[in-house]
Structure 1
Amino acid sequence: MLATPSGIPACPDTDRLRRLADQLTGMIPGASTIRVSLTSPQHAWPHPHAIVKDAAGRTMEVSRTTARIAARWILRVWPESDWTHPHTLDLADAVLTRSDRVPAADRGR
């Protein structure tokens, strides 16, 4: 991506993140969040894995192919993230957060 003289990218990545969230929403209607990790329960080695949830927080059934495609797309858009830990993409905000951290208020419950 080209940069302006100030060093700021000429085209902000926010458009790219929003497009990905829109594509995933179109591919998985009703999805609210997608949790991505490289720890698939079916494999002993690192493997893209996604869990899709609706707005109520219920896990949605998606095909293995759809889950794998969604996970790979998210991994490619955020390559700088520490993928040794799971992350959750909020499709409404197009924001990726590390999802293995538990807020202090929720510990011990």
Structure 2
Amino acid sequence: MSKTILVVDDSASVRQMIAKTLQHAGYTVATAVDGQDALDVSAGKTFHGVITDQNMPRLSGIEFCRAFRARPENQNVPVVFLSTESEGAIKEKAKAAGAIGWMVKPFDQEKLLSVMRRLVTA
């Protein structure tokens, strides 16, 4: 059974690039255009991992992560940020919201896959 990853980014090209990278590696991918859309898309569904941007309209990545983690069914789903941000303070806020990793854009496809393979186990 394929593992399902939720990709959240307000940039269509970034969403598409991440999705294609994951799909070629055998993952099933759902996408969302911002944090609010991600909450809507994830309601009642099972995801094995989430990759989210930080700076997005409606709900930022941190706001999304807090709300996503507030749902009991998402307590153990790994959330990784993929953002242009790299400041320590914002990373700490993401960690406090429930993120377990942070990668900086532009991303290396092999590194992204390596991270996801480690976090989203069979």
Give the TM bin, normalised by the shorter chain: under 0.3
- The normalised TM-score by structure 2 is 0.23
- The normalised TM-score by structure 1 is 0.24
Rg (Cα) greater in structure: 1
